[in-house]
Chain A
Amino acid sequence: MDSKSLEPSLYTVKAVFILDNDGNRLLSKYYDPELYPSMKDQRNFEKNIFNKTHKADNEIAFLEGMTIVYKSSIDLFLYVVGSCQENELMLMSVLNCLFDCLNQILRKNVERRCFLENMEGAFLIVDEIIDGGVILESDAQQVLQKVNYRLVSEPAYGFVLFDHITGNLQAQTDKNQLL
């Protein structure tokens, strides 16, 4: 598949994107300006990848000459793209970190609605994990610490009230610690 070994470089990630279960783009970042420079190409690429990966949760694929690691959760699909010579495990560590962070800030509700409600958190997380294609941090705890993001979710206040009424203060403090 390739003959030349990789030029040593920190530029590991070519693209990251998150799609919903219709293959629509929710968030996407392309780090290599030579890879799909136009929006149309990017969308085509995403569609193509989605069509070939959404049926089976296979974790890794080789498509359009690129190594793609992916993960799905309910109606969200997370993708990390690297060159075909890239160390697959490096890409995997980025994907895992991204997923763990989302899992934390969305309180284990890694699904489309909750994700969209906390879009800014997702933007900040991606920004802290990868900077211009360089892996900035791959430890989820570190990323969360840096982002220091608080869940924005209206129902949470309802829960607080509910907890208050029912006297379930223990649960409330637990939740605060989680945050």
Chain B
Amino acid sequence: MIKKFDKKDEESGSGSNPFQHLEKSAVLQEARIFNETPINPRRCLHILTKIIYLLNQGEHFGTTEATEAFFAMTRLFQSNDQTLRRMCYLTIKEMANISEDVIIVTSSLTKDMTGKDDVYRGPAIRALCRITDTTMLQAIERYMKQAIVDKVPSVSSSALVSSLHMVKMSYDVVKRWVNEAQEAASSDNIMVQYHALGLLYHLRKNDRLAVTKMLNKFTKSGLKSPFAYCMLIRIASKLLDETEGGHDSPLFDFIESCLRNKNEMVVYEAASAIVHMPNCTARELAPAVSVLQLFCSSPKAALRYAAVRTLNKVAMKHPSAVTACNLDLENLITDSNRSIATLAITTLLKTGSESSVDRLMKQISSFVSEISDEFKVVVVQAISALCQKYPRKHSVMMNFLSNMLRDDGGFEYKRAIVDCIISIIEENPESKETGLAHLCEFIEDCEHTVLATKILHLLGKEGPRTPQPSKYIRFIFNRVVLESEAVRAAAVSALAKFGAQNDDLLPSVLVLMQRCMMDSDDEVRDRATFYMNVLQQKQKALNAAYIFNGLSVSIPGLEKSLHQYTLDPSEKPFDMKTVPLATTPITEQKTEIAPVATSKLPEKLAPSRQDIYQEQLAAIPEFQGLGPLFKSAEPVQLTEAETEYVVRCIKHTFSRHMVFQFDCTNTLNDQLLQKVLVQMEPSESYEVLHYLPAASLPYSQPGSCYTLVRLPDDDPTAVSCTFSCTMKYLVRDCDPNTGEPDDDGYDDEYVLEDLEVTVADHIQKVLKPNFGAAWEEVGDEFEKEETFALASVRTLDEAVKNIVSFLGMQPCERSDKVPENKNSHILFLAGVFRGGHDTLVRARLALADGVTMQVTVRSDEETVVDVILASVG
């Protein structure tokens, strides 16, 4: 092994690495000369360098040996060699975590930090703070305060930065140095200014008022440091974002004025801040875009990169604002830095005209193999956006994507392509067959199980409805023969869907299923047996319930219910209707392409919002008899944003009750609220059963109180109700600084906005992937139909949106998207009514003067049908 290295070194001819074959034990042995007198600075320096080098290479030092070396090193403080002393500081910092009793050097470091030699002072402070803990910090506090305002910039900077590091550990101590930091902020030295600003912001960031004051001061007085300017811009844009300040605010003016700063770094920071602001108009963006345009022709690659990356971002939301830069971007297409070229092309794809698409696609395919996966994903995203904009170009895109799909690439990249193809298929029905064919080809040789199962699922859904479903069978069955268990199981499910939908294919599918029943994997066999039996019944309703539209319950909820059932055995069979439904049904394959900056966390099945609420509510004894939680609505604000108390309400629906959860926040720092509850006055025959107050509500700590209401049993059609709400509480004034409350308080109340309960609160969204089958399954026993005229609505799109949000049901078969230039449309909605009744709505819409709507409702319960029709009318 060693020989090999030597040979290589000879070959490279650059001489060997003197640190290459360092042995930790030998180096530690050498470290003994630290104890020799007189100290040989040269040799000691070399040994310290070796130790640091070894640590840097990841060599592990045991505590004993590290401590021994550390103690030997402390002797070197006797030498006055400058570089040696500096290396001692470095060693202290590197060993702070591995050696014991590092605090032994505290006095030496304190001496250096307060000594006359300015060269030592800064680094000594930084080393000292590295080994100091909260208790010891008190002892050096005096020195730190002095150091922060020291006239030597390196001392002041070191003290400020070290203070910042220590904020995490000892916030309370460092907070006391605010005045010193304030003084340092007006220093002439640019780095001191920057560090002081950083520390000040960090200490005050939770106090919006103080941050505002600080911003005002610095934006007026002006700073010298470009770094400090960048920091100010970030603080200002964060504050703008939090306060939802309008763009006429002085903060916005400040950021805009930075576009005229003479330092490029500041100009870019300002432009980027403006671009990232939500709701910026094209006119507000214009100055930022024009400075970025200038940067595009900079000789510095980093600046060109920064500019084009930011323009790319602008183009996502405001393509027209970037059009002015098209010429500059064209020049960047041939940039030697492929990242810049890729970003330029993808930006142009977003801003350019339809005619330039072919040319750009040709350009990009010439070097797509040279760029990193991260940027390939950017390209795919651009294509995906383009397809939505120019649906006619889908054949060019589809070709390009299928070529990319054949190339090598990581999972993220392949997933982006597959998602993109799927979204094209959904947008353009005429591209469906080519798209499916490409995907079929892809799964023939696909190493990613997740993608293979996803595509099989899609084939099962879309394949049976194509003119020639039989050609997909081969691809699917190949998977059963060749792939891993998960893929085989998915293939079996896909096959079953073909059999259920296409009667002429059924016999062949049954034969294939029989073959699958001999699979070596349990899951695959189980699925095959199950589908075989369902298919043999040849009943549409069974097919719909068990093959097309799977379970719509929440999986964690099902797990919990089943567990409960096994704990408490009873004669009754397990009732699926008691299981809470899945809250956020996977919106029908609305593919969001994942951000490029991929988190490395493995994807976990996170419990949904509703599962969390279910858990929280079940923990409250008063609410235990209510049964499973049926639905939790989105929070509704009951106060204006900037009031003394902020209250929002979440409506939880149970089968016979509703629980209103009020999340209250007290924004007055001189008050402590106690026994907070929200009194509700219903307009209908709803009955308030119980109030559960929040015991205490200190300043800025949110708390929840609950109100339990019984739904009227006798009149099931009374689904809507208005509550007038008043918050009642006991106020105890308190000292804003300490939070110490007065002994006695007084009762007070605060009127909140009215709360509405509507029909949507009684219906949970459920996605039926195959609406037609579900429609047949429910049957026409309780079908009712009525026609309405929606006079106030002007477009079909608007009508669809209104109906969906009013009924709170799930649009199926992508029927919530109205094709352009059509005068009529059919909307399919599915949901489950409180109590577990499947409910389906078919609304035929026609556009004349207003919109005419014919609503057909089916459900397994007559009252539900009546309720829905009554509420629509």
Q: Is A163 an interface residue (CB 8 A)?
A: no
Q: Are the C-beta atoms of A5 and B161 separated by less than 8 Å?
A: no
Q: Is A100 an interface residue (CB 8 A)?
A: no
Contact with B along A1-19 (1 / 0, CB 8 A): 1110111111000000000
Q: Is A25 an interface residue (CB 8 A)?
A: yes
Q: Is A27 an interface residue (CB 8 A)?
A: yes
Q: With A75-B14, A116-B18 in contact, do A5 and B86 touch (Cβ < 8 Å)? A: no
Q: How far is the CB of A1 from chain B (nearest CB, A)?
A: 5
B300 cross-chain contacts in A, Cβ below 8 A? 59, 92
Q: Is A161 an interface residue (CB 8 A)?
A: no
B237 closest partner in A (C-beta) = A5
Q: How far is the CA of A7 from the CA of B206 in the complex (A)?
A: 13
A2 cross-chain contacts in B, Cβ below 8 A? 595, 597
Q: Is A149 an interface residue (CB 8 A)?
A: yes
Q: How far is the CB of B348 from chain A (nearest CB, A)?
A: 17
A116 cross-chain contacts in B, Cβ below 8 A? 17-19
Q: How far is the CB of B79 from chain A (nearest CB, A)?
A: 14
Q: Are the C-beta atoms of B264 and A89 separated by less than 8 Å?
A: yes
A143 closest partner in B (C-beta) = B154
Interface residues of B in 193-240 (CB under 8 A from A): 194-195, 198-199, 201-202, 205, 227, 230-231, 234-235, 237-238
Q: Which listed residue (A7, A58, A87, A131) contacts B265, Cβ 8 A? A: A87
Q: Is B87 an interface residue (CB 8 A)?
A: yes
Q: Are the C-beta atoms of A61 and B596 separated by less than 8 Å?
A: no
Q: With A8-B201, A63-B374, A89-B306 in contact, do A120 and B82 touch (Cβ < 8 Å)? A: no
Contact with B along A139-162 (1 / 0, CB 8 A): 000100011111010000000000
Q: Are the C-beta atoms of B56 and A87 separated by less than 8 Å?
A: no
Q: With A9-B198, A124-B83, A134-B161 in contact, do A56 and B336 touch (Cβ < 8 Å)? A: yes
Q: Which listed residue (A25, A58, A87) contacts B272, Cβ 8 A? A: A87
Q: Is B186 an interface residue (CB 8 A)?
A: no
A63 cross-chain contacts in B, Cβ below 8 A? 372, 374
B545 cross-chain contacts in A, Cβ below 8 A? none
Q: With A39-B58, A150-B83 in contact, do A1 and B19 touch (Cβ < 8 Å)? A: no
Stretch at the interface among B45-53, B453-461, B681-689: B45-53
Q: Are the C-beta atoms of B157 and A136 separated by less than 8 Å?
A: yes
A42 cross-chain contacts in B, Cβ below 8 A? 58
Q: How far is the CB of B131 from chain A (nearest CB, A)?
A: 14
Q: Are the C-beta atoms of B123 and A127 separated by less than 8 Å?
A: yes
Q: Which listed residue (B158, B231, B238, B374) contacts A65, Cβ 8 A? A: B374
Interface residues of A in 75-132 (CB under 8 A from B): 75, 84, 87-93, 111-113, 116-117, 119-121, 123-124, 127-128, 131-132
Q: How far is the CB of B88 from chain A (nearest CB, A)?
A: 11
Q: How far is the CB of A28 from chain B (nearest CB, A)?
A: 6
Q: How far is the CA of A137 from the CA of B154 in the complex (A)?
A: 9
Q: Are the C-beta atoms of A65 and B597 separated by less than 8 Å?
A: yes
Q: Are the C-beta atoms of A134 and B195 separated by less than 8 Å?
A: yes
A27 cross-chain contacts in B, Cβ below 8 A? 56
B87 closest partner in A (C-beta) = A120
Contact with A along B151-168 (1 / 0, CB 8 A): 000100110011011000
Interface residues on B, range: 35 or more
Q: How far is the CA of A21 from the CA of B17 in the complex (A)?
A: 12
A117 closest partner in B (C-beta) = B18
Q: How far is the CB of B10 from chain A (nearest CB, A)?
A: 14
Q: How far is the CA of A50 from the CA of B89 in the complex (A)?
A: 31
Q: Are the C-beta atoms of B265 and A124 separated by less than 8 Å?
A: no
Q: Is B463 an interface residue (CB 8 A)?
A: no
Contact with A along B111-153 (1 / 0, CB 8 A): 0000000010011001000000000000000000000000000
Q: How far is the CA of A58 from the CA of B82 in the complex (A)?
A: 38
Q: Are the C-beta atoms of A87 and B14 separated by less than 8 Å?
A: no
Interface residues of A in 45-84 (CB under 8 A from B): 52, 56, 58-65, 69, 75, 84
Contact with A along B223-267 (1 / 0, CB 8 A): 000010011001101100100000000000000000000001100
Q: Are the C-beta atoms of A59 and B596 separated by less than 8 Å?
A: no
B303 cross-chain contacts in A, Cβ below 8 A? 88-89
Q: With A10-B231, A93-B265 in contact, do A60 and B374 touch (Cβ < 8 Å)? A: no
A56 cross-chain contacts in B, Cβ below 8 A? 336-338
Q: How far is the CA of A63 from the CA of B42 in the complex (A)?
A: 41
B596 closest partner in A (C-beta) = A1
Q: How far is the CB of B219 from chain A (nearest CB, A)?
A: 14
Q: Is B505 an interface residue (CB 8 A)?
A: no
Q: With A6-B234, A84-B597, A113-B14 in contact, do A123 and B305 touch (Cβ < 8 Å)? A: no
Q: Which listed residue (A25, A58, A150) contacts B301, Cβ 8 A? A: A58
B205 cross-chain contacts in A, Cβ below 8 A? 8
Q: Which listed residue (A43, A75, A124, A142) contacts B90, Cβ 8 A? A: A124
Q: How far is the CB of A69 from chain B (nearest CB, A)?
A: 6
Q: How far is the CA of A62 from the CA of B377 in the complex (A)?
A: 12
Q: Which listed residue (B14, B15, B202) contacts A9, Cβ 8 A? A: B202
Q: Are the C-beta atoms of B57 and A25 separated by less than 8 Å?
A: yes
Contact with A along B396-413 (1 / 0, CB 8 A): 000000000000000000
Q: Is B609 an interface residue (CB 8 A)?
A: no
Q: How far is the CA of A54 from the CA of B265 in the complex (A)?
A: 26
B87 cross-chain contacts in A, Cβ below 8 A? 120, 123-124
B158 cross-chain contacts in A, Cβ below 8 A? 131, 136
A9 cross-chain contacts in B, Cβ below 8 A? 198, 202
Q: Are the C-beta atoms of B372 and A8 separated by less than 8 Å?
A: no
Q: Are the C-beta atoms of B90 and A8 separated by less than 8 Å?
A: no
Q: Are the C-beta atoms of A10 and B164 separated by less than 8 Å?
A: yes
Q: Are the C-beta atoms of A134 and B597 separated by less than 8 Å?
A: no
A20 cross-chain contacts in B, Cβ below 8 A? 17
Q: Are the C-beta atoms of B306 and A88 separated by less than 8 Å?
A: yes
Q: How far is the CA of A137 from the CA of B49 in the complex (A)?
A: 23
Q: Are the C-beta atoms of B161 and A132 separated by less than 8 Å?
A: yes
Interface residues of B in 32-79 (CB under 8 A from A): 42, 45-46, 48-49, 52-53, 56-58
Q: Are the C-beta atoms of A131 and B161 separated by less than 8 Å?
A: yes
B272 closest partner in A (C-beta) = A87
Q: Are the C-beta atoms of A146 and B154 separated by less than 8 Å?
A: yes
Contact with A along B76-99 (1 / 0, CB 8 A): 000000110011011001000000
Interface residues of B in 280-333 (CB under 8 A from A): 300-303, 305-306, 309, 313
Q: Are the C-beta atoms of B305 and A136 separated by less than 8 Å?
A: no
A93 cross-chain contacts in B, Cβ below 8 A? 265
B89 closest partner in A (C-beta) = A127
Q: With A7-B238, A61-B339, A113-B15 in contact, do A88 and B595 touch (Cβ < 8 Å)? A: no
Most chain A beta-carbon contacts within 10 A, residue among B48, B227, B268, B269: B227
Q: How far is the CA of A123 from the CA of B94 in the complex (A)?
A: 11
B58 cross-chain contacts in A, Cβ below 8 A? 39, 42-43
Q: Is B645 an interface residue (CB 8 A)?
A: no
Most chain B beta-carbon contacts within 10 A, residue among A52, A88, A128: A88
A8 cross-chain contacts in B, Cβ below 8 A? 201, 205, 231, 234-235, 238
A7 cross-chain contacts in B, Cβ below 8 A? 234, 238
A118 closest partner in B (C-beta) = B49
Q: Are the C-beta atoms of B227 and A135 separated by less than 8 Å?
A: yes
Q: How far is the CB of B295 from chain A (nearest CB, A)?
A: 10
Q: How far is the CB of A80 from chain B (nearest CB, A)?
A: 11
Q: Are the C-beta atoms of A146 and B122 separated by less than 8 Å?
A: yes
Apart from A112-B14, A120-B83, 20 more pairs, CB < 8 Å: A1-B597, A8-B201, A42-B58, A56-B336, A58-B337, A60-B301, A64-B374, A69-B302, A87-B265, A88-B302, A120-B48, A123-B90, A124-B87, A124-B90, A131-B126, A131-B165, A146-B154, A148-B82, A148-B83, A149-B83
Interface pairs (9), CB distance under 8 Å: A1-B596, A2-B595, A3-B595, A5-B234, A10-B198, A61-B339, A123-B90, A135-B194, A147-B86
Chain B contacts to A: CB under 8 angstroms: 12, 14-15, 17-19, 42, 45-46, 48-49, 52-53, 56-58, 82-83, 86-87, 89-90, 93, 119, 122-123, 126, 154, 157-158, 161-162, 164-165, 191, 194-195, 198-199, 201-202, 205, 227, 230-231, 234-235, 237-238, 241, 264-265, 268-269, 272-273, 276, 300-303, 305-306, 309, 313, 336-339, 372, 374-375, 378, 595-598
